[in-house]
């Protein structure tokens, strides 16, 4: 499945910022230096969003839907190489589920 992204988060700063302090949701692909468990939070995120963790092959391994603003911690259980944050309801609209391989444009 091909998903259009708005930006890539490849630096420590861009990954730390994510969706914080933004007025509107964006589709951000986080690219980590190596596979690991990367918890996130939604402090200073003012809207709900979906988060999808992907392995090194861009296969969906974990999905978190409808993350509320100001949630202290969202902790994945599996090691991921990528994280896709996107507007709420994206998982349902795109019919995403575990084991789907994602391509971005």
> What pTM value is reported for the model?
0.95
CATH number at residue 23: 2.60.120.1140
What pLDDT sits at residue 9?
Answer: 97
pLDDT by residue (tens digit) across 70-97? 999 999 999 999 999 999 999 999 999 9
Q: Cβ atoms within 10 A of the Cβ of 59, count?
A: 16
Quote the domain boundaries for residue 25.
Answer: 2-104
Domain count along the chain: 1
pLDDT by residue (tens digit) across 37-70? 999 999 999 999 999 999 999 999 999 999 999 9
What pLDDT band is residue 23 in, cutting at 50, 70 and 90?
very high
Nearest to 31 by CA among 45, 51, 49, 11: 11
């Amino acid at each position: 499945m091909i998903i259009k992204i708005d930006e890539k988060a490849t630096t420590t700063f861009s990954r730390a910022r994510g969706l914080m302090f933004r007025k509107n949701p964006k589709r951000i692909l986080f690219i980590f230096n190596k596979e690991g468990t990367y918890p996130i939070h939604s402090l200073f995120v003012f809207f709900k969003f979906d988060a999808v963790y992907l392995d090194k092959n861009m296969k969906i391994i974990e999905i978190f839907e409808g993350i509320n603003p100001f949630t202290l911690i969202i902790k994945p259980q599996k090691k991921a190489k990528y994280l896709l944050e996107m507007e709420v309801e994206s998982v349902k609209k795109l019919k995403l589920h575990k084991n789907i391989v994602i391509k971005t444009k």
